[in-house]
Amino acid sequence: MESRTLFAETPPVKLFFIASLPGAVSMLASALYQLLDGMMVGQILGETPFAALNLAMPFVIINFALADLIGVGSSVPIAMNLGKKKDEEANNIFSCACLMLFLAGVAVGALLYAGAPALMRLMGAEGQLLADAVSYLRVYALCSPLTTIVFAMDNYLRICGKIRFSMFLNILMSVMIAGLEFVFLYYLHFGIWGAALATCIGMAVCALIALLRFPGGRLQLRFCRPRFSAAMIRQIIACGSPNFLNNIAGRITSILLNTILLRVGGQTAVSVYGILMYAEGFIQPLLYGMCDSLQPAVSYNWGAGDRKRVGAIERCCFTASAAVSLLSAAVLFFFPGQLAFIFIGETESAYFAMTVAALQFFALTYLTRWFSFAAQSYMLAVGNAVGATLISLSFALLFPVILIAALWPLGLTGIWLNFAGTSLLTGLLAAFIMLRFQRNSRSDRYASTDSN
């Protein structure tokens, strides 16, 4: 379906199912791969490689965060320009963003490869844990120029209305990665670096498949000779900053928590935290898949000035996010033992008992997480980078750090409760930001009407 017809004419509820369900399926496929990744590393290689993966993962995500900075940051102005029927400007932003993604992958990959040993030592790793973490991170660093663009391609395909193709590509990537990782670890007996190599191969192949769709004028977005400008770069950075800063701040928080956990609870506590992050890695992609899939439609209609349609689309987004989040909270709270067994493989250990308790505390997070998540997505889609950034930074860094200090007397329990407290505080902040933004938007519309 042509993007203008899809975004501007399709009834909002139908649009939600057309856009969000494939987006959620795409992210579910990604989440299932991540779940399988944790299971295979934990079950085949053991606790030390699993802990190494969790120590290195924040830096891997920081690397991919640049793809969000440029990919998401360029998607919002691209969709808005298409809504304003400025196709040439949209194509220029698209072409410049692709070049920026490649160059950023080269630069950050080089820095991570060189700095991997020092970074892991700084977090307290030593011996085999250090060697595993360094080898894992360095594979991602070497492949960075070929892999980081894959997430941006997902956004660009959806802008062009190729939602199902994007979904099938994400499913292909997840299946390919899971299959390669099983072969590398189980049959070829590769170390932890084999898990990273499998992921990078799958991402690189799917990024190439996506890129080959754009030449030849078959899609609404086309490559053109890039014309950079300071204003365009500022706009990309402004629109991409909420997601980028959320990823960076979140990884800083993860590094801080991993460092504290390694010293307070040892390697076992780090592994438990890793299991919580795998649970989050299954739930958050569903929320992200629904909200992010609707961003092009919201940005397009905001650029076209259709505020009523924007509101109708967002009501679908908030309702679905609440349903997924509350269902996830119930599963985590009532079935923690079954979830823990997936990663640990036995039930008679302190490791298992600690994981069960942590999962039940963690379940409380999703009673309120849906609201701030959907609100941040809405703020980003309408170009309110300041509001989206405040929400993302508060959730990823500000409130977690405050609560680390406030809940410190509770020990490990305080750390497991940190997530729920952060979610509640961020939800209250998001409600305040949204109410203020809506009041200002109404005032601006009334002022514009009066002047006319």
Mean pLDDT, contiguous 10-residue spans, the chain (452 residues): 69 82 75 76 83 85 82 86 85 92 92 92 85 93 91 86 85 90 91 92 93 80 89 87 78 84 84 86 80 82 84 89 94 92 80 92 95 90 85 91 93 93 96 89 57 50
The angle subtended at Cα 6 by Cα 221 and Cα 208, nearest 5°, is 35
Closest CA to 136 of 151, 121, 120, 118: 120
Alpha-carbon distances of 291 from 19, 286, 370, 427, rounded to whole Å = 10, 9, 10, 16
Q: Buried b / exposed e across 219-245, counting CB within 10 Å, b at 16+?
A: bbbbbeebeeeeebbebbebbbbbbbb
| Total residue length of the chain | 452
Query: Tokens representing 143?
Result: 């492949």
Residues 281/57, Cβ–Cβ less than 8 Å:
no
Alpha-carbon distances of 50 from 140, 161, 250, 274, rounded to whole Å = 16, 39, 20, 8
How many structural domains comprise the chain?
1
Q: The domain containing residue 144 runs over which residues?
A: 3-451
Rounded CA-CA distance 346/339 in Å is 11
**Residue 149 exposed, middle or buried by CB count within 10 Å (0-12, 13-18, 19+):** buried
Rounded CA-CA distance 332/318 in Å is 21
Alpha-carbon distances of 75 from 68, 103, 297, 320, rounded to whole Å = 10, 18, 11, 23
Give residue 79's pLDDT.
86
Give residue 447's pLDDT.
53
Give residue 85's pLDDT.
82
Give residue 270's pLDDT.
84
Q: What is the largest CA-CA distance in the chain?
A: 73
Task: Give the residue carrying structure tokens 């194509």.
Answer: 91
Name the pTM for this structure: 0.71
Give residue 265's pLDDT.
84
